[in-house]
Chain A
Amino acid sequence: MVNFGNIWQYLAVQSPLQATFSGNSTTMNIKTYSLPELPYAYDALEPHISGQIMKLHHSGHHQAYVTNLNKALKVHASALSAGDIAAQVALQPVIKFNAGGHINHALFWTNLAPAGTPETLFPDAAPTLSAEIDKTWGSFDKFKEAFAKELLGIQGSGWGWLVKAGPSSLRIVTAKDQDPIVGGEVPIFGVDMWEHAYYLQYLNGKAKYVDSIWNVINWKTAESRFQAGHGDFFADLKSLL
């Protein structure tokens, strides 16, 4: 039974791309992604999300997605120029996972804000979005209930998002692992349901984490993503990364 649990192991066997890359690097012209700074201090979301969680989550986990994305893109660029289609295909899951991790976390940090700041006040910070939420779910409480149910129903690692599926069409979606929302929908805000997002503080009590997160949702960001057109949203996202 051949097992390539790790794509680097696979590529090392299948092609000499990694070995040749350093020699060709000057001819490559690919964007290198970097870790965005948080718009608040690590402990600014306490007591709802601890400073220790935020620090590990941002400087450890998010950084790892950025590092591995850059690594995968470099090897992919080599595979492209070498016309190695097999290596390109083999890299797709790695790129999706790490790019997804980068996109999801960049959106997550900016859709959070310290509790009690004007950005976190609902419905004041999100006048049009809150009206649409009421229209769709009947009330904010019913929306929160439906959102929590989706979050708690995720089997394994993943994310829950409120997305805009059309001009006035809101929907709650979940995505496994680091699958990003990059199709026709605009992600308005997301909640990270990986255990690393809450375990140090909430242990196995993820329902409490979900309860608490409402205190730190940045409704101002949510409102502006709701109002943005699809193209504008993805242009903004690009500048975040």
Chain B
Amino acid sequence: MSSVLLRTTPAVRGALRAGALRPAAAAASTSFVRGKATLPDLQYDYGALEPYISGKIMELHHKKHHQTYVTGLNTALETIGEAESKGDFTKAATVAPLLNFHGGGHLNHTLFWENLAPASREGGGQPDGALLKSINEDFGSFDTFRKQMNTALAGIQGSGWAWLAKDKQSGTLGIITRANQDPVSGPYAPLMGIDAWEHAYYLQYENRKAEYFDAIWNVINWKTVASRFEKA
């Protein structure tokens, strides 16, 4: 993996920003750092988001699904690195969809775990300060924002995510949906994401996904969202 690759791949850039790529010292060279993505630890126990998200869902979601994206990202990076070292840029290009999918999956889940927290700790309630002011300005009210976010989530056709995002140029907030594991990138900074893949809720909510979209607001970590808002 070269520095060029890191500069040109949004998903990987995002993963670096999220602190999710850790350099492997043994593989480091003087000209560039060869990093391997690793599964980040959760800042709370698997059962800590109950009753809103079951411990079983959290365990599978983190230990299996997120791990698969991490493994897939490393495999894609390795394949691209090998192709690049042979000058086989056609081969490297064909791996791009896998890099986007697994890199996006790694980034999205890393952001997701951090913007959740147990209801007994930072989770739930409403944002305050500058973030709340901005939400009020751009959506009318926190309640309107919440409703629009749930409508956006319900409207996703297939697997995907909905995000509260900040337009980095204008500073305005908006809701963005993304298919599958496409990451939020370009002019938008993701502040808060909700996973609308069925694996995120099915064991507990089955086909009643609206109930999951209602429940998850009890475990949103507004402290994390506010800090992303300030930095974006």
Contacts and interface: CB of A to CB of B under 8 A. Distances in A.
A168 to B, nearest CB: 30
A195 interface: yes
Given A5-B177, A158-B158, A195 B207 contact: no
A197 B172 CA distance: 39
Given A196-B198, A196-B202, A196-B207, A1 B172 contact: yes
Contacts of B207: 56, 60-61, 64, 196
A99 to B, nearest CB: 12
Interface string B125-169: 000000000000010000000001001111111111010000100
B38 interface: no
Contact of A176 (B64, B158, B174): B158
Given A156-B180, A204-B65, A3 B148 contact: yes
A82 B180 CA distance: 36
A40 interface: no
Given A156-B160, A177-B158, A5 B199 contact: no
**Interface of B (DSSP majority class):** mixed
A6 B180 contact: no
Nearest to A1: B174
B151 A195 contact: no
B179 A156 contact: yes
A209 interface: no
Contacts of B206: 56, 60, 200
27 contacts: A1-B138, A1-B175, A1-B176, A3-B148, A5-B151, A5-B155, A5-B162, A6-B151, A56-B206, A60-B206, A60-B207, A61-B207, A93-B157, A156-B158, A156-B159, A156-B181, A178-B157, A178-B158, A195-B197, A195-B199, A195-B202, A196-B198, A196-B202, A199-B199, A200-B202, A203-B64, A204-B199
Given A6-B151, A155-B181, A204 B68 contact: yes
B122 to A, nearest CB: 27
A9 interface: yes
A71 B154 CA distance: 16
Output the residue of A3, A158, A203 with the most chain B CB within 10 A: A3
Interface of A: 1, 3, 5-7, 9, 56, 60-61, 64, 93, 97, 155-158, 176-178, 194-196, 199-200, 203-204
Nearest to B198: A195
B202 A199 contact: yes
A200 B205 CA distance: 11
A204 B97 CA distance: 21
Contacts of B179: 156
B145 to A, nearest CB: 11
B157 A97 contact: yes
Contacts of A9: 151
Contact of B152 (A3, A157, A176, A194): A3
B203 interface: yes
A199 B206 CA distance: 10
A59 B145 CA distance: 32
B148 A5 contact: yes
